[in-house]
Structure 1
Amino acid sequence: MTSTPDAPLGSRIIDDKSPICVPFILERLAQYRKQNPVTQRPFVVGINGVQGVGKTTLVQTLYETLQDREGLETLVLSIDDFYLTHADQNGLAKAHPDNALVQVRGEPGTHDTPLLASFFDAVLAGKPAHVPEYDKAAFAGKGDRSAPRPENPGRLVNGPGQPPLQVVVVEGWCVAFRSITPAEVEAKWQQSGASPDSKLSSKLHTHKLEHLLLVNERLEAYDAALTNHIDALIHLDAEHTPYVYDWRREQEAALRQARGTGMTDEQVEQFVDAYYPAYELFADGVRKGIFPKEESKLRRQLRLIVGKDRRVKETIEL
């Protein structure tokens, strides 16, 4: 087993996930190509996981395997690069000034879904497309998507003289989330505040129901833009979702030690708080499986349940 190269001391992640996930993806890719022998459409792999669970290490290994060992032209994307521009995010925040969930980037609804849709429409049709880039450090950490310029339009894929993409890997904390019914949102919201014990781990009760419903409504657009295009999914699922707070604190402590800068524990909690309601609302849907249950088809989703030490405790194919 290997750990993330050059990672700060204290944030090294033992990679026990790649030996499980890489064969799974290669088998699904082989089946896809067998069933679609003449298609030019690239195979789309989704990777979902809470922050700090080990997505980066897995993505790196998967890319090296597909691109270098298998010789497949592979693109790795982060859904983070499709966040709204700073100006558009400010516009969203001003349109909903009392909704804390959309004041900063993070929750579904703060991504540019028309851009996401047009990008995948082009890439899946084998047409040229520029890969967007998001600068999280811009505007004092509020972030902004880099604007294409004539002298630097951004990374081009499927361009003239380039080999066509054969695999697209898209990773992110909310990849493959699907919206739920308004009644389900309300039920989860009511349950979160039903007892003092539930408030220890739930953040839903700290938001108004209509604010959660807005996020749920905005998530609907992600289906056509991305989720419906996914051919195989890796779900790195924390055994207990609140581990994300500990993992982020560990990462930032390691950064402070190594570089002298990083979020405080209080800042980490506020940062994760902005994402946590979506985990509560939509992670169960991913756990149940995002693909139709058809016995004739190869199971296309792999769920790895990860303990607090970030090691895999259980593997489930869906």
Structure 2
Amino acid sequence: MKYILGFRQYLHSEKSYQDLEQIILGQPEHFPPTEGFLTIVAICGDNPREFLEEKGLRSKVAFYDYAPWEENAKRVADVFTRSVHKTERVQIIHYNENPLGLTYPLELLVYIARGLNAEHLAVSDSDFQLSYSEIRRVYDHHIATADPDEIVITYPRRQPRSLDTEKYPINRWAMEDLENMYIYFLSDLKVLNSKPDFQSGLSITTRAANKILNFDNVGSWIGNLHMAIQLIRNKGRLDKDFVVKTNYQHESTINFDVQCAKIDQLYRYYMIPLSNIVELAIEHPDKYLMEDWTAGKSKQEIVETIKKIEAMNNRYLEEKRKERLEKE
């Protein structure tokens, strides 16, 4: 297969089951294998076997249950690429019963793309914040403009930047901006000029890009950010201006604890504390923060928003430190 479309999914809720069914039923229309596409769903959480049978979907998928092994992503990818079959069907890989974060399924799909020598790999969240048709539009754009043997990564630009905010004690748009600042400082500050939408829920990489990616010792939640940093550092081309329409995000695997864990993992891997990022964001909000949430706000309001994130993150880290001490 020349082109892989990979979904990463935490199967645990009614909405996630609906999304899985939509992926399977929509594949023939939007990503037909006759056009060179292979669709893979990397699943953690519930085993989908019974659901597939109850819904009459079993004949539409090839199912691989690797969860009992609890193996690393490279090992699972190696086994899958040697045993892949019925490629006209959606490939369902159940890799673990527990949620392992966002890095594992990304790494798994990158290794699979390498093993199958795919020209391009798209990795999408499974919540359909981007519709099937929008994902296909971006993929067609990427295929038309990216040489598979050139290091290229495509990040579409959401319009609007839809985020689930239910039960969130912080401004998620601001939090995303702070996370993206790590990419700017660790790769190329010139990227700042256009403020790419690094966390759109969809990335597409070329074969050359996939060959250089390395996720060793990368935290469980920061694989996407680390991928962008690696590719920009390696002088890859960043395709960042293709605009996509988004659906309202009703559910997200990213809760407040996960957001704080991402910041902690970025610090542990790159040794840049959030306080440094916050200081720069406050000093130069126009330079580092996106207008979709700062427009119309005073400097003081922006500062208060950023400081609230820093304070809550510090409390989170202190609580985690106490938990570790209690276990010792």
TM-score normalised per structure 1: 0.26
* Higher RCO (Cα < 8 Å, 6 or more apart): 1
Structure showing the higher helix proportion among its residues: 2
TM-score normalised per structure 2: 0.26
